[in-house]
Each structure stands twice: as structure tokens, then as C-alpha cells.
């Protein structure tokens, strides 16, 4: 299990350096807050119909702040010229991918834990559905988004303008996840009676997660070539 | 910066791509394409009957479906050549993948242009968020991103590698996108073929079907011709760059 061990080591390194500087996480959380602020201008919080767009807003926040973190995860390595070091270190490309994935995933989870209750609070949103299912949807959706996002970030990092390239690559590829999780989130939060169709959506997103995680795992070898 | 980028592998490539001779294949392809497109146009306007409810506007359907099929074939070719490139690492595979994706993008654009024209008269709206339309739009965005990776700076083999990876990922995404959107929205598109359990065909007249297959074949021939020309054009570009690089090296000596 050297693969997992090195991956955890790399994730630990990323998270430690993040803990020291708090640069990316702070940016992501503040950005999430700003997105909520902009949405409060766009959709009147006092209006009852606004409740219908909350599931969509949650995912817009995750997408936008997720992009910020993903951009940084490989760029920071490149800025310090440590990418070459990682590549020649005695570990597989898969470990690098897995390590970066774990780091990004834990960061987006922190952002979600902070931002989503905040959103519910500010928009005075009452959850009518079930919270455990909602957490499951969030987990599966973020997993897929970050796994493919980490992969595409490593791909885009080869470009000089990777910040601009990454959203263009990521959004069309993740569209099935976004459709699925927004539908599932809506059902989980507002009408839980429709649980069966929400579970179908969860199945679709999980299938996507599995397929693309495996695909990324195989193809990362070609992306992270010296 | 960019002038040094090509240099790394110059000696290796010249021998590899030293074959571009006058071939009769492009001429035959051009002839076949022109004839078949003319035949298709004749069939569309003279042979196929006018559809009862939609009227003459329905005639756009032949090229609409034809372009969609061709675009899908083009992306499949990109997918296959991407895998081949990652396996064999020959530049010609990469060129094929690139040119095919470019042509596929053009055909997808055609589908997205002809679709709304037809939709406006058939459904009385320009655009509907319906599975096939949305999938086509997302397909267009995916291959636009593919072209964007192509435009990246850097040595060609890095770009080829990344593009091949994205070509595989992008193509694998398409069925899932279609499936997801199909669930998301109910059906509005007429399903022309098949009469299985879920695929209740709306039915199509034999003459119409024949015309559609002819126009589909004509567009596939056009695609083959464009692919052939595009690849030789791209190879010529590569060769010119290599000669330039050689010249520069000699001057610097």
C-alpha cells in the first residue's frame, strides 16, 4: 500500500502548507461568501420563490470556489518548481493524483461546511427534507467534481494561462454531475416524498464518479509525464 | 521562445514524415463527394415528398441529421486516434485526431445552426432544453475546449499527449451527458428509427429514409475528403516548420 501511503503523505504536505499560509482556504471561503452576497442581490431573499433556486445556488458556490482551489493545487507546485521533484520522486503518478485529490477534497469539504449553513441562515431556508441524505448528495457530488477537477487541473497546469483554461475544460465535462446533484439536492431539501427519483440521480452521479475516477487513475500516467 | 521548441526532435521527425506524394485518392474523393452531394440535393428537393404537417421546412432535416451523424463519427475517430497516439506515439495519429476534431466541431456547429431553424417552424421556438439539443451543445463546448488545449504553448508532443487524454475523457463523457439530460427533461425530439419498448418510432416514409441515407453518405464522404486534405495540409505545415528550424540551425553554426 505504498500508493496510499505516499498519497497521504503528499496530501498531508499540501494541507500543512495550507494550514501555515491559509491563503487558498481563506480565499475560497470569502469567495463563497461573496457569491452568496451577489445571489442575494440577484434573487430577492424576502421572496418565497427564491427558495426554489437554493439547491442550484449551493452548487454554483461549490463550482466557483472549487475552481479557485483546483487552480492553485498544481500551480503552486509549478511556481516553486517542485513539480519536477514530485515527478522524479520514487512514487507513481497515481499517488500524486490521489494526494492532490485528497487535499482538494478536504478543502472543498471545509468550504461546504462553512458556506452552506451560512447560506441557509442568510436566506432563511428551512430544510423540509432529510439532512443525512443531503449530506450524502453533497459528498458524492463533491467527490466527482473534485476528482475530475484535480485531473483536469493537472492537465491545464501545463499551459501558461491555466486559470483561464481550467473552467473551459471542467464545466462541460462535469455537466452530468451538476445536473444530477442539483436535481437530487432539490428533492432532498424540499420534497422528500420523491425519494426514489433522487436515489436514481444519486446512482447516476455515483456511476459517473466511479467511471471517471478509474479513467483519471489510468490516464494520469500520460498527463504527468516528465 | 517558440523557435526553440520545435528543435528537440527535428532529426527524428524528418525521416518519419517524408511521404507526401501526388496521390489520386484526394481527387477521387473530391469527385465522389461532389457527385453525391448533388445527388443528395436533387433527392431532397425533387424526390422526397413534402412532409404533411411541417411543410418544406422539414427538408432541412436531411442535412441536419447527416451533419449530426458525421460529427459523431468525427469525434469517434478522434477518440480512436487519441488512444492510438498514446499507444504508438506517432505524430501522424495526433494529426488525424486534431483534424478530425476540428471537422467534427464544424459539423456540430452546422447541427446547432440548422436545428433552431427547423425548431422555429416545427415547435415554434428557437431552442428547447431537450436531451439531444443540450447534449449537442455540451459536445460543442467539450471539443471547443479540445481545440483550446491545442492552442496552448509548448512543444508539440506535450500538447499531443494532453489533447489525446482530453479526447478520451471527452468522448467517454458524451453518453453520460446524454443519459443525464434525458432523465432531466422529457422527450420532445421525434425518434425516427426503431420501435422498441422505449424507442417508439414516429415513422418515416421509405423515400424519405432513402434520401436521408444518401445525404448522410454524402456528408460522410465530405468528411473523409476534408480529413484527407486537412491531414496533408497539417503535415505540410509541420514539414515547413522543420525546414525552417533546420535552416536556422545551419545559420547559427
Q: Over the stretch A95-134, which tens digit does the pLDDT of each residue have?
A: 999 999 999 999 999 999 999 998 888 888 877 778 888 8
Task: Give the span between the Cα atoms of A113 and B129, in whole angstroms.
Answer: 33
Q: Does A176 touch chain B (CB under 8 A)?
A: yes
Query: Band of the pLDDT at B15, cuts 50, 70, 90?
Result: very low
Q: What percent of chain B has pLDDT over 90?
A: 36
A residues 140-169 near B, CB within 8 Å?
Answer: 148, 151, 155, 158-160, 165, 168-169
Average pLDDT over residues A11-21: 90
A residues 207-226 near B, CB within 8 Å?
Answer: 207-208, 211-212, 215-216, 219, 222-223, 225
Q: Is A81 left (phi over 0), alpha (psi -120 to 50) or beta?
A: left
Asked whether the beta carbons of residue A223 and residue B144 sit closer than 8 angstroms, the reply is no
Task: Lowest mean pLDDT of A64-73, B150-159, B173-182, name the range.
Answer: B173-182
Task: Lowest mean pLDDT of A214-218, B198-202, B248-252, name the range.
Answer: B198-202
Q: Does B167 touch chain A (CB under 8 A)?
A: no
Residues of A in contact with B162 (CB under 8 A): 155, 158, 223
Query: Band of the pLDDT at B197, cuts 50, 70, 90?
Result: very low
Confidence (pLDDT) at B200: 43
**pLDDT surpasses 80 at B81:** yes
Average pLDDT over residues B227-243: 92
pLDDT tens, A128-166? 778 888 899 999 999 999 999 999 999 998 888 888 899
**Within a 10 A sphere around the Cβ of A70, how many other Cβ atoms?**
31
Q: What percent of chain B has pLDDT over 70?
A: 81
Confidence (pLDDT) at B101: 94
Query: Band of the pLDDT at B186, cuts 50, 70, 90?
Result: low
Q: Does B155 touch chain A (CB under 8 A)?
A: no
Average pLDDT over residues B194-220: 70
- Is residue A112 within 8 A of residue A69, CB to CB? The reply is no
Query: Band of the pLDDT at B199, cuts 50, 70, 90?
Result: very low
Average pLDDT over residues B156-167: 90
The helix-helix angle for B206-252 and B25-42 (nearest 10°) equals: 150
Three cell numbers, residue B194? 426503431
Residue with cell 504527468: A224
Task: Give the span between the Cα atoms of B72 and B64, in whole angstroms.
Answer: 12
Residues of B in contact with A180 (CB under 8 A): 180
Between chain A and chain B, the number of residue pairs with CB atoms below 8 A apart is 80
**pLDDT surpasses 80 at B54:** no
Q: Does A105 touch chain B (CB under 8 A)?
A: no
Confidence (pLDDT) at A123: 84
Residues of B in contact with A223 (CB under 8 A): 161-162, 165
Residues of A in contact with B176 (CB under 8 A): 176, 204, 207-208, 211
Asked whether the beta carbons of residue B181 and residue A179 sit closer than 8 angstroms, the reply is yes
Please give the radius of gyration of chain B, using alpha carbons only, rounded to the nearest integer: 21
Task: Give the span between the Cα atoms of A26 and A70, in whole angstroms.
Answer: 14
Cross-chain CB nearest to B152 (options A158, A201, A219): A158
pLDDT tens, B118-160? 888 777 888 877 777 888 899 999 999 999 998 888 888 888 9
Consecutive H or E run containing B178: helix B156-184
Instruction: Tell me what the pLDDT averaged over chain B comes to.
Output: 81
- Is residue B111 within 8 A of residue B71, CB to CB? The reply is yes
Q: What percent of chain A has pLDDT over 90?
A: 42
Q: What percent of chain A has pLDDT over 70?
A: 100
Amino acid at each position: 500500500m505504498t500508493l496510499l501511503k505516499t498519497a497521504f503523505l503528499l496530501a498531508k504536505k499540501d494541507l500543512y502548507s495550507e494550514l501555515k499560509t491559509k491563503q487558498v482556504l481563506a480565499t475560497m471561503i470569502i469567495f463563497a461568501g461573496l457569491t452568496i452576497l451577489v445571489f442575494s442581490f440577484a434573487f430577492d431573499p424576502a421572496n418565497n420563490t427564491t427558495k426554489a433556486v437554493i439547491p442550484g445556488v449551493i452548487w454554483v458556490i461549490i463550482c466557483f470556489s472549487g475552481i479557485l482551489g483546483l487552480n492553485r493545487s498544481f500551480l503552486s507546485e509549478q511556481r516553486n518548481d517542485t513539480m519536477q521533484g514530485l515527478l522524479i520522486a520514487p512514487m507513481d503518478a497515481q499517488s500524486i493524483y490521489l494526494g492532490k485529490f485528497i487535499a482538494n477534497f478536504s478543502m472543498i469539504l471545509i468550504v461546504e461546511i462553512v458556506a452552506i449553513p451560512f447560506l441557509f441562515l442568510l436566506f432563511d431556508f428551512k430544510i423540509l427534507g432529510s439532512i443525512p441524505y443531503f449530506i450524502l448528495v453533497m459528498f458524492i457530488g463533491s467527490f466527482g467534481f473534485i476528482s475530475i477537477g484535480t485531473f483536469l487541473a493537472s492537465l491545464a497546469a501545463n499551459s501558461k494561462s491555466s486559470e483561464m483554461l481550467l473552467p473551459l475544460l471542467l464545466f462541460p465535462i462535469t455537466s452530468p454531475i451538476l445536473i444530477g446533484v442539483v436535481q437530487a439536492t432539490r428533492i432532498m431539501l424540499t420534497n422528500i416524498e420523491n425519494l426514489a427519483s433522487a436515489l436514481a440521480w444519486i446512482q447516476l452521479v455515483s456511476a459517473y464518479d466511479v467511471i471517471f475516477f478509474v479513467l483519471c487513475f489510468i490516464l494520469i500516467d500520460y498527463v504527468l509525464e516528465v | 521562445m517558440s523557435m526553440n521548441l520545435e528543435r528537440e526532435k527535428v532529426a527524428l521527425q524528418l525521416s518519419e514524415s517524408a511521404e507526401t506524394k501526388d496521390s489520386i485518392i484526394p481527387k477521387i474523393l473530391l469527385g465522389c463527394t461532389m457527385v453525391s452531394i448533388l445527388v443528395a440535393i436533387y433527392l431532397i428537393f425533387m424526390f422526397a415528398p413534402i412532409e404533411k404537417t411541417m411543410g418544406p421546412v422539414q427538408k432541412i432535416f436531411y442535412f441536419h441529421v447527416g451533419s449530426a451523424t458525421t460529427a459523431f463519427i468525427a469525434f469517434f475517430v478522434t477518440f480512436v486516434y487519441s488512444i492510438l497516439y498514446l499507444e504508438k506515439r506517432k505524430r501522424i495519429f495526433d494529426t488525424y485526431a486534431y483534424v478530425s476534431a476540428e471537422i467534427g466541431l464544424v459539423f456540430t456547429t452546422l447541427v446547432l445552426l440548422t436545428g433552431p431553424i427547423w425548431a422555429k417552424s416545427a415547435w415554434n421556438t428557437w431552442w428547447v432544453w431537450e436531451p439531444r439539443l443540450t447534449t449537442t451543445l455540451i459536445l460543442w463546448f467539450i471539443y471547443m475546449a479540445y481545440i483550446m488545449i491545442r492552442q496552448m504553448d509548448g512543444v508539440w508532443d506535450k500538447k499531443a499527449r494532453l489533447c489525446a487524454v482530453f479526447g478520451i475523457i471527452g468522448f467517454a463523457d458524451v453518453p453520460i451527458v446524454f443519459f443525464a439530460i434525458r432523465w432531466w427533461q422529457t422527450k420532445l425530439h421525434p425518434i425516427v428509427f426503431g420501435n422498441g419498448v422505449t424507442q417508439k418510432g414516429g415513422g418515416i416514409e421509405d423515400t424519405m429514409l432513402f434520401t436521408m441515407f444518401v445525404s448522410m453518405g454524402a456528408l460522410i464522404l465530405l468528411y473523409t475528403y476534408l480529413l484527407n486534405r486537412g491531414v496533408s495540409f497539417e503535415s505540410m505545415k509541420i514539414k515547413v516548420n522543420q525546414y525552417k528550424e533546420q535552416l536556422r540551425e545551419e545559420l547559427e553554426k
